[in-house]
Amino acid sequence: MHAIRVAAVVDVTEAEGPGARFAVWVQGCAIRCPGCCNPHMFDPAAGTPVEPGELLARLDRVRDQVEGVTLLGGEPFEQAVALAPFARGARERGLSVLAFTGHLIEELRAGNPPGAPELLAQLDLLVDGPYRADLPETRRRWAGSSNQRFHFLTERHSPGVETVRAGGPDRVVELRFGPDGTVRRSGWPED
């Protein structure tokens, strides 16, 4: 089984999709959108290789605290072959799976990158399209720019869940302070 090249994992976050989620930032992205907020995740040789089963074991420790998994990065579909078994395992555990990609869904359905249709088949929600710094998103949660599209691939999440409403939940930014003094920001701007 292929290992997943991982840049970061947050066990429980409310900043990366509907509800509380287990978020996996993968390492490596060849798309390289100008203005990307995660350029340190471009290099496919960096990060840490993690077996899908190992990641599922980590997910199991917080299974009762999350309603889904979010895959982002980096470019998840550059690791579609390795991520598909992890995504399948998450769904077998009753969790929803959301992925952010800089590719378009039409490319993914056509098999580009390799293994993309198999990963796509495990998703409930896909946010697609490259980040466009000239088109900042102001109305929808989780998307970075207004060209990006939400594809509801199953009935697990309802269209409109991404829309910020008056009096409702707004866009969320989370800050995590590490024991070594590092600060990790997630939620916005994002993939």
Report if residue 74 touches ligand SF4, rule: CB under 6 A. Answer: yes
Nearer to ligand SF4 by Cβ, of 17 and 89: the residue is 17
Tokens of 175: 């800050």
Q: What is the end-to-end Cα distance of the chain in Å, rounded?
A: 27
Cα 23 to its chain centre, rounded Å, is 7
The owner of tokens 């409403």 is 165
Q: 96-100 and 68-73 as β-strands: parallel, antiparallel, unpaired?
A: parallel
Under the criterion CB under 6 A, does residue 28 sit at the interface with ligand SF4?
Answer: no
Instruction: Return the amino acid letter for 115.
Output: G
Using the rule CB under 6 A, is 123 a contact of ligand SF4?
A: no
Of 32 and 63, which CB lies nearer to ligand SF4 in the complex structure? 32
**Looking at 31, 81, 153, 172, which residue binds ligand SF4 (CB under 6 A)?**
31
What is the SS3 assignment for 163? strand
* Cβ atoms 72, 16 nearer than 8 A: yes
Residue 128 binds ligand SF4, judged by CB under 6 A = no
**Those residues with Cβ within 8 angstroms of residue 45's Cβ, 6 or more apart along the chain or in another chain:** 28
148 lies in the site for ligand SF4, by CB under 6 A = no
Separation CA 6–CA 27 (nearest Å): 5
Which of 70-78, 79-87, 134-142, 179-187 is the region at the interface with ligand SF4 (rule: CB under 6 A)? 70-78
Report, in Å, the least distance between residue 66 CB and ligand SF4.
Answer: 23
Q: How far is the CB of 162 from ligand SF4 (least distance, A)?
A: 17
Q: Hey, which residues does 15 pair with through a beta bridge?
A: none
Is 85 or 102 the residue whose CB approaches ligand SF4 more closely? 102
47 binds ligand SF4 (CB under 6 A): no
Stretch that binds ligand SF4, among 27-35, 62-70, 132-140, 166-174 (CB under 6 A): 27-35
CA 137, 140, 141, 142 dihedral sign is negative
32 binds ligand SF4 (CB under 6 A): yes
Contact positions vs ligand SF4 (CB under 6 A): 29, 31-33, 36, 38, 41, 73-75, 102, 130-131, 191
